[in-house]
Amino acid sequence: MSADPGAWLRPEIAALSPYQVADAAGLIKLDAMENPHPFPAELVEAWLETLRTVPLNRYPSADAPDLKSALRATMGVPADCGILLGNGSDEILQMLMLALARPGASVLTPEPGFAMFRLISRAVGLTYRSVPLAPDFDLDVPAMLKAIQTHQPALLLIAQPNNPTGNAFDRAGLEAIVDAAPGLVVVDEAYYPFADDHCLEWLGRYDNLLVMRTLSKLGLAGLRLGWLMGPPRWLDALEPLRLPYNINGLTQASAAFALDHYAAFMRQAEAIRAARSQLASALAALPGVTVYPSQANFLLTHFAGRDANVLHATLKTRGILVKNVSGAHPSLAGCLRLTVGTTAENRSLMTALSAILSD
């Protein structure tokens, strides 16, 4: 018997590389689009009291009805729509793609986009197809419509706002693409707390549209909770792929508590939106810097005449970790993605960049 994994692994799995997470120990962490603010101090004691009631010797609720009710009420989920919970949005994407990975089926998405779309589709055996965004990072609607007609994708994935570009796509163009899709359409609204427009109101208008959200960007990334909303027949079909007890008891209790105090977390989101505007203005004043419009909690920033790899490494030596996206797609050459941090963190970032760019 061969002890070589390559002799037994599916070729597409053997060819994959794991998703890389940078070590942020001792650094100002501005690389992962997290809310930089801690759990609201005035809520900590009440939250801990809630956690003390969770019976850790028992399995959690299998379908988390209380959490679903809290999500439905807080997010305004239409009454005729279902909710599917996942251990983060990544697990939901995996369920979706496993369900649709018939021989010859494909997933279609614009690029540059969320890296997990490509990684998970290849892992489950879906053919991955992408369409480049327009030069301004909006959807190239004619190209998307042509790709839909040619490939008839089983799954169309669109992040709104988009990661890593940060912009929200033109609503009319997005609607034209949803109208044309023959298969399932999933709009990933991970950055909804920072955006001006949402697609939740489209649920019910399209029988093949699902909307996905997460608590991660709101300030609860450590809970790993994502949810999918849409027609019950789609979510019921996905339910057999959801592993039993996939949402642990501490996450269920913590998320329900946070949703009861949703306003406190949205105040943090509003503070991040204000800081985003201030940071964008400060960055744009630096020589050779272009800041792209963002409705997320990060800023895609281009540094003309600078090697992004060197700039990324130099910032790290100064104690600041950002995301180098320069090699992720040709249209991102020379770009770094900068998470909006606290006032002090943003000041440190600007001080470091000002010094580096003046050399």
Measured at the CA of 114, the angle between CA 111 and CA 116, to 5 degrees, comes to 120
Say if CB 124 and CB 147 are below 8 A apart. Answer: no
- Whole-angstrom distance, CA of residue 137 vs CA of residue 300: 11
What amino acid is encoded at 318 in this protein? R
What amino acid is encoded at 166 in this protein? G
Q: What is the pLDDT of residue 3?
A: 73
pLDDT tens-place string over residues 136-163: 999 999 999 999 999 999 999 999 999 9
DSSP character string of 177-222: HHHH-SSEEEEE-TTGGG-S--SGGGBTTBTTEEEEEESIIIIIGG
- Kindly state the tokens that stand for 173: 């163009």
Q: Which domains does the chain have, with CATH numbers?
A: 5-40+264-354 (3.90.1150.10), 57-261 (3.40.640.10)
Whether a cis peptide bond, with omega within 30° of 0, leads into 5 is no
Q: What is the pLDDT of residue 1?
A: 53
Q: 100 in the Ramachandran plot: left (φ > 0), alpha (ψ -120 to 50) or beta?
A: alpha
- Whole-angstrom distance, CA of residue 136 vs CA of residue 171: 15
Q: What is the pLDDT of residue 2?
A: 64
pLDDT tens-place string over residues 284-314: 999 999 999 999 999 999 999 999 999 999 9
- pTM of the entire predicted model: 0.94
pLDDT tens-place string over residues 231-276: 999 999 999 999 999 999 999 999 999 999 999 999 999 999 999 9
Angle between helices 115-124 and 88-100 (to 10 degrees): 40
Say if CB 232 and CB 256 are below 8 A apart. Answer: no
Residue 212: pLDDT above 80?
yes
> In whole numbers, what is the pLDDT of the chain averaged over residues?
95
- Whole-angstrom distance, CA of residue 139 vs CA of residue 240: 34
